[in-house]
Amino acid sequence: MSLRQMEFVLKIAEYRSFTKAANKLKITQPSLSHAILSLEENLGLTLFERTTPIKLTRAGEIYVSKAKLITDLYDDLNSELQDISGKKTGEIRIGFSTNGYMILSDVLPKFCRRFPSVNIKIEQTRSLAKIRQMILDNEIDIGLFISPIEADEFEIEVIKTEKMYVALCLAHELSQKYKSCGMHPKISLNELKNENFILQKSTQRTRAQIDEVFKKAGFEPNIICETEIFDIAISMAASGAGAYFCLQSYIKNDILDQIMLFDIDEPSLDKTTMVAYKKGKKLSKLAKEFIQIAKEW
């Protein structure tokens, strides 16, 4: 049995399909089928029931559980040997969902300057669940999340916690009213009762939290736009189209000069950025260095 064969079996077990696994492995489906048949002949056991979807036999379940342990140990071995060598080379695999891109845009350039010979692989998905699964399947080393996340299977390191503000253009009457009250004047959400709002899409987790805040305030917002694209939303707010809930770190300097951020004193909207990795996994020196640089963000 080879590590490559184990990788084949693990992918088929994950996707419950020879075709999907072959696409992920970037090989042809007949080649994958032949490799599994050859492995099963050598073992004298059947690993998969050829149903739709594919199912593991009892032997297959045992094979998959042990193969995961072996591949994890192999990854740990490579990491430790790389650390001992002291070379600033190697590979780091980072995954993030939609909310993680801002920290990467700041942290990656610093990391690359410190480790110019490192191969960096980035995986982006809109699904938090997908990033979680990629960590568990060892497809990525670390994942960037906005809290909360179920931590039973993960080690979590907090990067920073940020307050959620409401952005209005500088020409807005409230911006003019509070312009001498400091950087982030406190207001009641009810002062925005008659305002237009640009909000996150209803499918986003943050939107559900914002909806609860409106419910607590006792009014329904006048929503003129729903978008998951931050740059569009904050540009609309800067133009005077409406109010937008956002984190200050996500705002580019040229836009920051065109808006005022208001503190509505709602801790439930605060966001914690964190790094997660598989519980029990030995992080490489590169991964540790990345986390340290991220904490300086």
Q: What is the pLDDT of residues 202-246, one digit of tens each?
A: 988 889 999 999 999 999 999 999 998 888 999 999 999 999 999
| Residue keyed to tokens 């695999």 | 93
Going by DSSP bridges, is the β-strand pair 164-169/259-262 parallel, antiparallel, or unpaired?
antiparallel
pLDDT band at 22 (very low <50, low <70, confident <90, very high): very high
pLDDT at position 99: 66
CA angle 188, 191, 193 (to 5 degrees): 120
Q: Please tell me the distance from the alpha carbon of residue 28 to that of residue 46, in angstroms, as a whole number.
A: 21
Q: Please tell me the distance from the alpha carbon of residue 16 to that of residue 206, in angstroms, as a whole number.
A: 32
- Tally of helices (H runs) and strands (E runs) in the chain: 11, 12
pLDDT at position 64: 94
Report the pLDDT averaged over residues 92-110.
Answer: 82
The one-letter amino acid code at 281 reads K
* Predicted confidence (pLDDT) at residue 57 exceeds the cutoff of 70: yes
**Nearest residue to 116 via CA among 143, 87, 142:** 87
Report the pLDDT averaged over residues 258-281.
Answer: 91
* Predicted confidence (pLDDT) at residue 98 exceeds the cutoff of 90: no
pLDDT at position 263: 96
pLDDT at position 88: 63
* Predicted confidence (pLDDT) at residue 32 exceeds the cutoff of 80: yes
Tell me the pLDDT of the chain averaged across its residues: 89
Q: Please tell me the distance from the alpha carbon of residue 198 to that of residue 217, in angstroms, as a whole number.
A: 17
